[in-house]
């Protein structure tokens, strides 16, 4: 141990859950918790939402500027050319337990993708970037294949000429989505594309920081996103809406949840001290979808719940709350919700992995040991 690194660090308070700890620098996104603002590479989320497509935003996250028209055309072409499922991967996916968690499927799929890549352990930045672009293009294909296989259906290949979001819906449903559905999912992808050092991104950076490979970093990120306090909150939020069932049942549900000391999924945030800026945007999209679907119930339940939880507990909604009704309205099965989060966030994970690789230092915090000391070893034949 070096002299400059005492263990335990005498004057350092332990910040449980690393709350408030600045663990590194990034120029990819800024999560301003006090002012409830989110910025991607200099652009506020309000500036991009409804104007930029996921294709443009993923390019922005990767290359630090909005694409010119020709750059965007090339980027779209490149993503399009990479939307092909490896037959080896598909064969392995077909062997997985059909009803297992969709995020477990995705985690396995990316791991296999890595093993099928002859350049898996190549560290050169341009190789990492190549893998990242391929994974951004492929993830919705894999998620759609998972959705089809879990439902016992045949996998559908991507269709040329459709946007990233529209292609996912096409591959999942077997028919082209309406413009409104594709635009809604595109908005969702844009709003969830990156978010500072959230748990899954930090996991990815930590893994890459050991000089492990790109795929391992993404597999780790998927594992982190799978948790209900992070990405699976969108699935849990939908399950909550389904359990409530009607706007009239919101108040009794809130009372029950408070009595049982359970959490309201899609509420609360570690960083934002007010409403998550993404939530407002998603609410508008969900409302619109509810109106045109002819079944505004899921939006109405959500809106009533937002009010009731605020009155009861002064909790703000987070990004996952209106994601639930939005994803439901575009016809995505609840079990697939968290894979949608991964389809969006993979651009952010990739940008962070590349940023980490460009200026790497092993991520290795300290722990304050609070266990026993100075115990004496007792040979096995003298123990009970
Ligand atoms: N429902 C009920 N009570 C809550 C909630 C909630 N959703 N969120 C926070 N609280 C209460 C919590 O009970 C605690 O109260 P007390 O001090 O009386 O025990 C207090 O607020 C602080 O909670 P915490 O868990 O210490 O706060 P945190 O900063 O560690 O938690 C959180 C952040 C997101 C884990 C938490 O708000 C939560 O569990 N939310 C529900 C799950 C969820 O929606 N997750 C998605 C997060 S945003 C998108 C993403 O990252 O994927």
Q: Which CATH number fits domain 233-329: 3.30.70.1230, 1.10.230.10, 1.10.260.40, 3.30.300.30?
A: 1.10.230.10
Q: What is the pLDDT of residue 12?
A: 75
| Cis bond upstream, residue 191 (ω within 30) | no
The whole-angstrom separation of Cα 271 and Cα 195 is: 11
Name the pLDDT band for 204 (thresholds 50, 70, 90). Answer: very high
Q: What is the pLDDT of residue 121?
A: 87
User: What residue ranges do the domains of the chain occupy?
Assistant: 75-227+336-358, 233-329
Name the pLDDT band for 217 (thresholds 50, 70, 90). Answer: very high
Centre of ligand 1 from the C-alpha of residue 201, in Å: 19
State pLDDT tens for residues 112-121.
Answer: 999 999 988 8
Q: What is the pLDDT of residue 4?
A: 47
Active site residues: 269, 320
Write the DSSP symbol of residue 31.
Answer: E
Q: Is the pLDDT of residue 7 over 60?
A: no
Which amino acid residue places its CA nearest to atom 29 of ligand 1? 270
Measure the N-to-C terminal CA separation of the chain; round to a whole number of Å. 37
Which amino acid residue places its CA nearest to atom 13 of ligand 1? 263
Neighbours of 33 (CB within 10 A): 16
Identify the residues whose C-beta falls under 6 Å from ligand 1: 17, 198, 229-231, 233, 263-270, 315, 318-320
Q: Which CATH number fits domain 75-227+336-358: 3.40.30.10, 3.30.70.20, 3.40.462.20, 1.10.580.10?
A: 1.10.580.10
As a whole-number percent, the residues of the chain with pLDDT over 90 amount to 95
Q: Is the pLDDT of residue 2 over 80?
A: no
Name the pLDDT band for 11 (thresholds 50, 70, 90). Answer: low
Six token digits for residue 231: 């990405």
Centre of ligand 1 from the C-alpha of residue 142, in Å: 31
Please spell the DSSP secondary structure of 109-157, one letter per residue.
Answer: HHHHHHHH-TTTT---HHHHHHHHHHHHHHHHHHHHHHHHHHTT-----
18, 237, 268: which to mutate for ligand 1, most atoms within 8 A of CB?
Answer: 268
């Amino acid at each position: 141990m070096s002299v400059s690194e005492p263990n335990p660090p005498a004057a350092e308070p332990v910040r449980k859950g690393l709350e408030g700890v600045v663990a590194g620098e990034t120029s990819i996104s800024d999560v301003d918790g006090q002012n409830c603002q989110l910025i991607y590479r200099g652009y506020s989320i309000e500036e991009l939402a409804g104007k930029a497509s996921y294709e443009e935003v993923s390019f922005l996250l990767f290359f630090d500027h909005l694409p010119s028209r020709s750059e965007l055309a090339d980027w779209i072409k490149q993503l399009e050319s990479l939307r092909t499922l490896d037959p080896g991967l598909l064969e392995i996916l077909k062997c997985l337990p059909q009803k297992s968690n969709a995020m477990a499927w995705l985690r396995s799929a990316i791991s296999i993708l890595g093993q099928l890549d002859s350049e898996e352990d190549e560290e050169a930045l341009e190789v990492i970037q190549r893998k990242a672009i391929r994974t951004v293009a492929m993830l919705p294909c894999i998620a759609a294949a998972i959705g089809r296989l879990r439902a016992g259906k045949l996998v559908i290949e991507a269709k040329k000429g459709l946007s990233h979001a529209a292609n996912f819906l096409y591959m999942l449903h077997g028919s082209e989505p309406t413009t409104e559905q594709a635009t809604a999912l595109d908005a969702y992808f844009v709003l969830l594309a990156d978010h500072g050092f959230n748990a899954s991104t930090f996991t990815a950076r930590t893994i890459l920081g050991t000089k492990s490979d790109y795929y391992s970093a993404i597999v780790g990120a998927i594992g982190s996103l799978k948790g209900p306090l992070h990405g699976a909150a969108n699935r849990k939020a939908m399950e909550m809406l389904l359990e409530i069932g009607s706007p009239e049942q919101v108040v009794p549900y809130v009372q029950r949840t408070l009595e049982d000391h359970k959490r309201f999924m899609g509420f609360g945030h570690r960083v934002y001290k007010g409403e998550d800026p993404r939530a407002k945007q998603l609410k508008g999209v969900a409302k619109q979808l509810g109106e045109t679907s002819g079944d505004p119930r899921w939006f109405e339940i959500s809106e009533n719940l937002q009010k009731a939880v605020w009155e009861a507990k002064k909790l703000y909604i987070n990004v996952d709350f209106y994601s639930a009704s939005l994803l439901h309205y575009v016809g995505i099965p609840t079990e697939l919700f968290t894979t949608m989060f991964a389809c969006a966030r993979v651009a952010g994970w990739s940008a962070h992995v590349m940023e980490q690789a460009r200026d790497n230092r092993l991520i290795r915090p300290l722990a304050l040991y609070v266990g026993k000391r100075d115990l004496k070893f007792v040979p096995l034949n003298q123990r009970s």
